[in-house]
């Protein structure tokens, strides 16, 4: 209560204090009401999403049979793109997380984390541009080499680790030391592949295909898989790995025998959330998939996903027409698909948390 | 010692795959930076002397190395319209190739480029005939330029790209409307999302009951909803529902021409606000939760009502968290293109969403957007040879903005952490 203390005392009566308290209580209630109303609006806005899709479908005649046939193709395309994406993102994201959480030098780790956060911030339309315009023509020619690299890189790394791994005592900066090896390997395989007539036998049916979409989606999803798996690995108490070290385990043994069993469900959840993200991604699929409605599961063919169908068809569809309702149904399908996958991830993650809590109680 | 060996192999595998991730990231950002800036660098002019006696003067814009039929595409003087003078010539038909120092390139206001020799009187006359001097935007002699002068041209072109509207139906020229559209959209979205997001975060921070749990579940689940679904909601609910309703009530005389019932800035901003709401709520709530309880309890003990504690203590202390939430939301919104395609982004808008005419901001207008310009220039351009570099220039700009925003958020978060550590001790 600002003002002159002298006048203060003269006015300070019980009535005045009561009036003040009433005003304050009124303001309190007002703010509470405003916050409540805002939250209610937010909740309404969020609930409107599934409700609108359901209500938009409700009236009218059943959809024609062609719509359902088209759905099968779109669903197959969405799943194919999502699987390709997660096949790229999962090994890279989880391996990077495991390395960063368990082996990495702290100074390198302080760089990897923000760098991948920046990768997450790159708009997907930019990744789609690079994939569709720059990578696609190159990828069509080098499909065989890229497929070979996917097999050769892990094998060479394992062999090199078997041969020289014991000499390297401090593996904290190993990824950077291995970069020249990786670059040389990639250059070698691409160079040989360009000259091999046998490699020319495997050619993509179209420059825009599921494998290309998978590459771009994978790059887009690596950060989320990485940060979720790293969080899961850090949830495991330090005392567990310390106990393993005290019993004479190497770092690798501590990882496989203590860390992975404890954090495994967290890694599965990270993979599922990455998959859910891949299923709903629009711009990459729209730009790099060719948007040809081809069914089946061949990664070298083009595809058309639900999200691309929505982006291309929705602006032209007349409201309440058959096409419009078909698209609403497609949106509902996509929503359910992603919600199911991420709900599954939540269940798995909750299991991890419960298990760690009981482990902490037992300790 | 076999176990040790297998362990080393496994470690190397993990390290190698981490290396692949890091390498991919570095490659991606490096490529974006170079491809995004390359369009502004002055390209050399080539003179091709053909076997049949023709002489072609222009910029080599593409090279195809397809076995025996190796070919290059050259852009010569565009006398009629933008994109009208590409020629594809086979490399084996070229008798001589040189980069004459006196070659000049004139860029006209309408986007066309004319090539000529400085000393040859007839060429200069031709150039003068094709364009009046007032139409020339830039006259360059690129082959004779030093590195410093090239840098000057580079920055000039960059400034021109940022500060002028597009020409030749978005084939070339600047991106000012797209930039302004993106900024206006993001600003409007922030104005909508911040009050609601903060109120929801305060609610979640205060209450623990059933309703709060419902709100929390809704926000967590809808953070994973694909952005295109938000676009569908924006089109169905906002554009057709709300916008159509407003039209029937207030603009019935103009129907069937839609005023608010078509895609527009306001509906796009509302859609993006819904999309970024979880980001804001989560970040603000985390900020509120990080404030030590002793601070709040202290203020309550001194007689403040919970509401006074909130306004005078908690919200000011959580200001960096609010800012982080805002920045992350803005970064997410600036990169979201798919939902906008349904709620009013266009290739070429007839008017800006902000101008000097009352009421200055026109929320019902269609608008241009950087992200959509990328998509459009790359895949739907009438002149692919200009479209792709243009798309990359826009991509570089967009990624630059988004990365700066995210770095700011990361730095703020770190400062925030230090501040609370100081509060706790």
DSSP track, A139-190 = HHHHHHHHHHHHHHHHHHHHHHHHHHGGG----TTHHHHHHHHHHHHHHHHH
> Quick one: which H or E segment has residue B62?
strand B55-64
Tens digits of per-residue pLDDT, B318-369?
Answer: 888 888 888 889 888 888 899 999 998 888 887 788 877 777 788 888 889 9
What global pTM score does this model have? 0.89
Confidence of residue B133 (pLDDT cuts 50, 70, 90): low
Which residues in chain A are closer than 8 Å to B378, comparing Cβ atoms?
129, 132-133, 287
How far, CA to CA in Å, does A339 sit from each of A93, A250, A303, A344, B217?
Answer: 22, 40, 23, 8, 12
CA of A232 to nearest chain B CA: how many angstroms apart?
Answer: 17
Name the residue range of residue A19's domain.
14-57
Same domain? B272 vs B300: yes
Same domain? A119 vs A236: yes
Same domain? A197 vs A313: yes
Same domain? A111 vs A201: yes
Confidence of residue B132 (pLDDT cuts 50, 70, 90): low
In this complex, the residue of A34, A35, A331 whose CB is nearest that of residue B229 is A331
User: Last residue of some domain: B163, B191, B226?
Assistant: B163
Whether A128 sits inside 8 A of B5 (CB atoms) is no
In 3-state terms, what secondary structure has residue B173? strand
Residue B285 falls inside a structural domain:
yes
* Whether residue A276 has pLDDT greater than 70: yes
In this complex, the residue of B8, B374, B388 whose CB is nearest that of residue A161 is B8
In this complex, the residue of B22, B203, B379 whose CB is nearest that of residue A132 is B379
Residue A187 falls inside a structural domain:
no
Which residues in chain B are closer than 8 Å to A222, comparing Cβ atoms?
21, 24
Q: Can you tell me the mean pLDDT for B72-88?
A: 84
Same domain? B392 vs B309: yes
In this complex, the residue of A123, A134, A165 whose CB is nearest that of residue B402 is A123
Name the residue range of residue B235's domain.
176-424
Tally the domains of chain B: 2
**Sequence-separated contacts (24+) of A353-362 with Cβ below 8 Å:** A353/A235, A355/A262, A355/A265, A356/A235, A356/A236, A356/A237, A356/A262, A359/A237, A359/A240, A359/A262, A360/A237
Same domain? A20 vs A148: no
Whether A310 sits inside 8 A of B228 (CB atoms) is yes
What integer pLDDT is reported at residue A86 of this predicted model?
Answer: 94
Tens digits of per-residue pLDDT, B14-44?
Answer: 999 999 999 999 999 999 999 999 999 999 9
Which CATH number belongs to the domain containing residue B206 in this structure?
1.10.3720.10
In this complex, the residue of A93, A125, A171 whose CB is nearest that of residue B337 is A125
User: Last residue of some domain: B116, B137, B163?
Assistant: B163
Q: Can you tell me the mean pLDDT for A319-340?
A: 88
User: What are residue B89's DSSP bridge partners?
Assistant: B72
* Whether residue B134 has pLDDT greater than 70: no
CA of B127 to nearest chain A CA: how many angstroms apart?
Answer: 34
Residue of A nearest to B391 (CA): A129
Same domain? A81 vs A41: no
Same domain? B300 vs B184: yes
* Whether residue B65 has pLDDT greater than 70: no
Same domain? B183 vs B157: no
Residue of A nearest to B345 (CA): A315
Same domain? B298 vs B405: yes
Residue A168 falls inside a structural domain:
no
Tens digits of per-residue pLDDT, A90-117?
Answer: 999 999 999 999 999 989 998 998 899 8
Same domain? A97 vs A138: yes
B320, B417 contact by CB (below 8 A): no
Q: Can you tell me the mean pLDDT for A273-297?
A: 89
Q: Biggest alpha carbon distance in chain A?
A: 103
User: Last residue of some domain: B128, B163, B198?
Assistant: B163
Question: Which of B124 and A250 is assigned the larger pLDDT?
Answer: A250
Same domain? A45 vs A77: no
Which residues in chain B are closer than 8 Å to A103, comparing Cβ atoms?
11, 14-15
* B94-98 and B86-90 beta bridge pairing: unpaired
Same domain? B235 vs B126: no
Same domain? B285 vs B396: yes
What integer pLDDT is reported at residue B126 of this predicted model?
Answer: 59
* Whether residue A9 has pLDDT greater than 90: no
Same domain? B181 vs B93: no
What integer pLDDT is reported at residue A87 of this predicted model?
Answer: 94
Interface A–B counts its CB contacts (< 8 A) at 304
Residue A48 falls inside a structural domain:
yes
Complex ipTM value: 0.89
Q: What's the rounded Cα separation, in Å, for the pair B181 and B398?
A: 13
Whether A334 sits inside 8 A of B336 (CB atoms) is no
What integer pLDDT is reported at residue A1 of this predicted model?
Answer: 47
Same domain? B159 vs B183: no
């Amino acid at each position: 209560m600002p003002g002159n203390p002298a006048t203060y005392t003269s006015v300070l009566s019980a009535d005045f204090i009561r009036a003040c308290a009433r005003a304050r209580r009124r303001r309190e209630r007002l703010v509470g009401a405003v916050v409540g109303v805002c939250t209610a609006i937010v909740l309404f806005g969020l609930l409107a999403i599934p409700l609108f899709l359901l209500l938009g479908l409700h009236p009218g005649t059943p959809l024609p049979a062609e719509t359902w046939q088209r759905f099968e193709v779109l669903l197959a395309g969405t799943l194919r793109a999502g699987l390709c994406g997660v096949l790229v993102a999962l090994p890279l994201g989880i391996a990077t997380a495991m390395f960063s959480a368990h082996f990495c030098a702290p100074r390198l780790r302080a760089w990897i984390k923000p760098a991948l956060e920046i990768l997450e911030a790159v708009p997907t339309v930019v990744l789609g541009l690079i994939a569709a315009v720059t990578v696609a023509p190159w990828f069509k020619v080098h499909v065989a080499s890229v497929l070979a690299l996917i097999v050769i890189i892990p094998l060479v790394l394992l062999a090199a680790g078997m041969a020289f791994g014991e000499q390297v005592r401090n593996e904290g900066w190993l990824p950077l030391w291995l970069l020249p090896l990786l670059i040389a390997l990639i250059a070698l395989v691409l160079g040989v592949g360009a000259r091999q007539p046998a490699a020319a036998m495997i050619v993509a049916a179209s420059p825009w295909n599921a494998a290309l979409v998978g590459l771009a989606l994978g790059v887009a999803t690596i950060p989320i898989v990485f940060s979720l798996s790293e969080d899961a690995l850090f949830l495991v108490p330090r005392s567990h790995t310390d106990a393993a070290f005290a019993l004479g385990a190497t770092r690798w043994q501590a990882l496989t025998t203590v860390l992975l069993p404890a954090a495994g469900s967290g890694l599965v959840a990270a993979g599922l959330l990455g998959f859910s993200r891949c299923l709903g991604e629009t711009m990459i699929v729209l730009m790099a998939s060719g948007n040809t409605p081809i069914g089946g599961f061949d990664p070298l063919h083009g595809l058309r996903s639900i999200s691309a169908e929505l982006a291309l068809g929705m602006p032209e569809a007349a409201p309440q027409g058959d096409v419009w309702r078909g698209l609403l149904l497609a949106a509902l399908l996509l929503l359910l698909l992603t919600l199911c996958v991420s709900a599954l991830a939540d269940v798995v993650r909750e299991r991890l948390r419960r298990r760690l809590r009981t482990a902490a109680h037992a300790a | 010692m076999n176990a040790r060996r297998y362990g080393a192999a496994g470690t190397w595998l993990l390290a190698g795959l981490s290396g692949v991730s890091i390498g991919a990231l570095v490659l991606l950002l490096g490529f974006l930076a170079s491809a995004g800036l390359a369009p502004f660098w002055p390209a050399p002019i080539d003179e091709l002397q053909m076997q049949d006696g023709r002489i072609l003067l222009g910029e080599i814009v593409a090279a195809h190395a397809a076995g025996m039929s190796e070919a290059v595409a050259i852009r010569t003087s565009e006398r009629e319209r933008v994109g009208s003078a590409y020629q594809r010539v086979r490399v084996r038909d070229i008798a001589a190739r040189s980069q004459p120092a006196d070659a000049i390139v004139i860029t006209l206001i309408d986007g066309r480029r004319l090539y000529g020799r400085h000393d040859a009187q007839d060429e200069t006359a031709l150039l003068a005939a094709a364009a009046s001097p007032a139409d020339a935007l830039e006259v360059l002699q690129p082959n004779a330029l030093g590195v410093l002068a090239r840098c000057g041209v580079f920055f000039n072109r960059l400034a021109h790209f940022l500060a002028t509207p597009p020409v030749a139906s978005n084939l070339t020229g600047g991106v000012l409307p797209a930039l302004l559209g993106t900024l206006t959209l993001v600003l409007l979205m922030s104005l909508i999302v911040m009050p609601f997001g903060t109120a929801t975060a305060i609610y979640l921070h205060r209450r623990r009951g059933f309703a709060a749990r419902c709100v929390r579940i809704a926000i967590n689940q809808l953070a994973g909803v694909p952005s295109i679904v938000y676009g569908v909601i924006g089109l169905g609910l906002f554009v057709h529902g709300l916008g159509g309703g407003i039209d029937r009530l207030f603009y019935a005389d103009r129907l069937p021409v839609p005023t608010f019932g078509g895609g527009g800035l306001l509906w796009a901003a509302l859609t993006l606000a819904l999309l970024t709401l979880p980001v804001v709520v989560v970040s603000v709530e985390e900020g509120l939760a990080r404030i030590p309880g002793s601070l709040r309890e202290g203020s309550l003990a001194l007689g403040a009502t919970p509401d006074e504690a909130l306004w005078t203590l908690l919200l000011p202390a959580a200001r960096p968290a609010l800012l982080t939430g805002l920045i992350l939301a803005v970064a997410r919104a600036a990169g979201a293109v798919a939902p906008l395609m349904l709620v009013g982004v266009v290739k070429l808008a007839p008017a800006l969403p902000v101008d000097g005419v009352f009421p200055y901001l026109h929320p019902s207008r269609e608008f241009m957007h950087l992200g959509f310009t990328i998509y459009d220039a790359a895949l739907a351009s009438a002149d692919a040879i200009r479209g792709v570099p243009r798309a990359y220039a826009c991509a570089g700009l967009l990624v630059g903005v988004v990365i700066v925003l995210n770095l700011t958020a990361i730095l703020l978060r770190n400062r925030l952490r230090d501040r609370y550590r100081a509060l706790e001790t």
